[in-house]
A and B are shown apart, each in its own frame.
Chain A
């Protein structure tokens, strides 16, 4: 059984198709693993045992009947608890939604169901996806499988940790400023933020609508491509969803190609503020790519230095409006204060009790930024910066086919280390935010371990909008080159995971 949990989604899918293993066996293996390690990891907020096994059994029956099945049918998956699911709770990591169950499925969940992928459960996150450490979850932090005293990144720490700890071969995440890629970087896993509009947002609980994007979380580049093709494509329920076909992402990942490609190193996303071990691994990756025939070029994106500040105006502005609906009137928590409870007091008490500090901080910030008299100076200026960042990308992609940078400036920090310093926490997303601001796709893959702490380093690839396939093409090659130097997948080196597995 241990073997099953270590298989990539692609390898598992092949074994399922060949009837070497059943979907029930594969799903049960994941559920057993969750039972064994999740007490320590806390990646899951809800485990969907019965339904997952039921779907797996249906897949096995359909396969026995000779039905045509989706290639990933029977491959289990975890879903970030920001994405609504029928039949399971959806909390967004917040007390305000505790116990709420959605009457409808997100479009991506419908697609998982159509592909008949058993949903293992819902993964932990920073409340409403606001954070870079998963410490802002109302239901306790998730721990990094590499070191249980360290953060798994955020907001999607649950999905990344679940995949890193072999609790699931695949997971869904959401990425507003790096919430898929940064957890991928610090847990030694792969995460992709697709082109804005490439995956439907319908059913993803909104933080910042113009930045949010659902994407795949996995242990290999190919697995992300497989999942990306399942969830991508136009959705009439999402006006911002692109009408383009998803594209041949799996083929791009299988073929791989860097020869003759121009790979741009972003001057502004390295150097000061970046951990030495992160930069060492980053330069190693550049060398590998160069040796494989890529042309490494330097590009400058001067306005990226304003990206973080602009992001922290646009994101909270949209969030302050998106989170207004949590008022105790229609669903979720309702707190009725003593005395004569007017509607204002009920709304106020509900929001005071239901939201955590980081959420309140961003609502207040956003409300202020949108206020009459401040709008132009804050929201308006931030939108202008956004345009400048888009222009920087456009100019950079004239010189390079893909861009490359470290995913995060540091490896995983200690739990609690930055909890009282929001600005330090925000700085963790400095390299991931520009992609969201411009709507371009980004992929993070493991780049090795930092020498000083032995923790995973993430390498980020960025491509022009709608060119997600390039990420897979380059990512697959770099992954193969790196694994060659390591003599196997990076996760094989993770001590904590092995310890837990041995211990139970």
Chain B
């Protein structure tokens, strides 16, 4: 992928000159057992073109049937986003020719979405709350997955041939569309990330989606436009498509603000178009021109009857909604006894749910925080993924912690054990065994190492004998080195002092 060659302004300068307006279309893949309109399994990662029925392939004569569970999920999402739920709504056909769409139309909703006019309150890092208005949430089906072979861009243009996997075709999607978001200013990139994080958190909390961004369960199209401060009319927007990690959402919005500002500074109008986000260069490139007049020839889907809801059903679903994330955060902070700063760090690091699960699995809130904010966050940063995406399970942390508390391993060794587990070498106990990582708890070898260390540093030994107990660290270090870290430092210290006949 070539780097974007566009000029950009510094972010600070861009924000000083221009008022950014954002808008998001977030697609959430539901985790229903079957697809939106067929009985094919809704499953990720299976052999291509195996999770398909004649309906998913758009064979002649097939008809769609609405997945009732998906409708309930859509209503739950609508309710969680404080939306009104339509009493009656229709599906519509969005007509366009593209080989990932088996029927050459997508069954979606157009004029009357199932949920509309909602809002969510987004908490930013500094604790301020920003309200994002939700325009609508509607039901539709996902397209198949195209892989373009040959050619340099990985796109259909210039490809020698393309492979298509219809396993994803027909997977239920909820598209959540915001109203234009004004007034975010310099916090626009942060708000963008926080908004998508909030949507992800909500749908995960509802249990209606696996919400794994790396699998495309939550996908974001980010709209950005700039206008001079004080101007009411929106500037021309661009839509950066399929920005599929929280970090990328933040970066893409930041980049587009900088790019727009540079273009506007030259007096050139912004071209209304879609943009492609490139993670490697952290920049966007031009996609296709997109005008509001794109003609999808929408019309009501004649093969489906309207979805009719009623108050009793909606109220039943409302009563079943889980605790909203914001309220949940308040409760968890109180339960865990974290300070405001500690808790905010936990939230910003995206590990609150992980800590909750880990505490539920049987360790203290302090221990869970130590792991998720410490070692796991460190590794996530190195791997450039979210901590929860590393594959560390609450059970694993419980086991590691038990090994530490029993004195079998120490903190340092526990990292090696984690390495082993993540490398697929087995359970923590098995890794300890296989890698020989247990703390040397037999005093025999320790005493041998201590004697060696004392002999190697006789001056230090004398100092200690002379009462300078704080010098013992140098000997402990020598012992730890000799035992390759596999000793309990506390026990080593005790034994050294005993050996030298000094009171600790």
Count, chain A residues at interface, CB 8 A = 43
Give the interface SS of chain B, mostly helix, strand, loop or mixed: loop
Contact B303 A209 (CB under 8 A): yes
**B99 is an interface residue with CB less than 8 A from chain A:** yes
Which of A254-282 touch B at CB < 8 Å? none
Q: Is B498 an interface residue when CB atoms closer than 8 A count as contact?
A: no
State whether the Cβ of A291 lies closer than 8 Å to any Cβ in chain B.
no
Given A321-B105, A344-B97, A371-B295, A201-B63 contact (CB < 8 Å): yes
Q: Which of A102-141 contact B (CB under 8 A)?
A: 102-104, 106
Which size class do B's interface residues fall under?
20 to 34
Given A343-B162, A371-B297, A103 and B59 contact (CB-CB distance below 8 Å)? yes
Question: In the complex, which of the residues B102, B295, B299 contacts A330, with contact meaning CB atoms closer than 8 Å?
Answer: B102
Instruction: Answer yes or no: B360 CB below 8 A from chain A CBs.
Output: no
B437 to chain A, nearest CB (A): 55
Q: Is the CB of B60 within 8 A of A97?
A: yes
Mark each residue of chain A from 371 to 394: 1 if its CB lies under 8 Å from any CB of chain B, else 0.
110010001000000000000000
CB distance from A373 to the nearest CB of B (A): 9
Q: Which of A9-17, A231-239, A461-469 binds B?
A: A231-239
* Pair A239/B303 contact, Cβ less than 8 Å: yes
- With a cutoff of 8 Å between Cβ atoms, the chain B residues found around residue A238 in the complex are 63, 65
Is the Cβ of A103 less than 8 Å from the Cβ of B95? Answer: no
B319 within 8 A of A: no
Q: Are the CB atoms of A240 and B303 closer together than 8 Å?
A: yes
A106 and B61 in contact (CB under 8 A), knowing A327-B97, A343-B99, A344-B97? yes
Interface code A315-342, partner B: CB below 8 Å = 1, 0 otherwise?
0011011001101011100000000000
A331–B59 touching, CB < 8 Å: yes
Distance in angstroms from A45 CB to nearest chain B CB is 15
B63 adjacent to A237 (CB under 8 Å): yes
> Is the Cβ of A240 less than 8 Å from the Cβ of B61?
no
Does A55 reach chain B (CB closer than 8 Å)?
Answer: no
In the complex, chain B residues whose CB is within 8 Å of the CB of A103: 54, 59
Chain B residues in 8 Å Cβ range of A48? none
Query: Are A239 and B305 closer than 8 Å at their CB atoms?
Result: yes
Q: From residue B103, how far is it (CB to closest CB) to chain A in Å?
A: 5
Give the residues in chain B near A100, CB-CB below 8 Å: 60
- Residues 55-80 of B, flagged 1 when their CB comes within 8 A of A and 0 if not, give 00111111111100000000000000
Is the C-beta of B304 less than 8 angstroms from some C-beta in chain A? yes
Flag if B65 contacts A240 (CB, 8 Å): no
Closest to B103 in A: A325
A368 to chain B, nearest CB (A): 10
Contact residues in A for B164 (Cβ distance below 8 Å)? 329
Question: Chain B contacts of A411 at CB under 8 A?
Answer: none
How far apart are A28's CB and chain B's nearest CB, in angstroms? 30
Asked whether B61 lies within 8 Å of A239 as measured between CB atoms, the reply is no
A370 at the A/B interface (Cβ < 8 Å)?
Answer: yes
Instruction: Give the complex CA separation of A206 and B162 in angstroms.
Output: 28
Docked complex: B261-296 residues within 8 A CB-CB of A: 293, 295
Chain B residue at minimum C-beta to C-beta distance from A324:
B104
16 contacts between A and B (CB under 8 A): A90-B61, A102-B54, A205-B60, A205-B61, A239-B63, A239-B305, A240-B302, A240-B304, A318-B299, A320-B95, A321-B105, A324-B95, A325-B104, A331-B57, A370-B95, A372-B295
- Since A208-B302, A209-B302, A239-B65 are in contact, a sample of 20 more A-B pairs with Cβ atoms closer than 8 Å, ordered by chain A residue number, is A84-B60, A102-B54, A106-B61, A202-B63, A206-B61, A210-B302, A238-B63, A240-B302, A320-B297, A321-B93, A321-B105, A324-B95, A324-B105, A325-B58, A325-B103, A329-B164, A330-B102, A370-B95, A372-B297, A375-B297
A-B pairs with the 6 shortest C-beta distances?
A324-B104, A209-B302, A210-B302, A370-B297, A203-B61, A84-B61
- Show the binding face of B for A, using Cβ within 8 Å: 54, 57-66, 93, 95, 97, 99, 102-105, 156, 162, 164, 293, 295, 297-299, 302-305
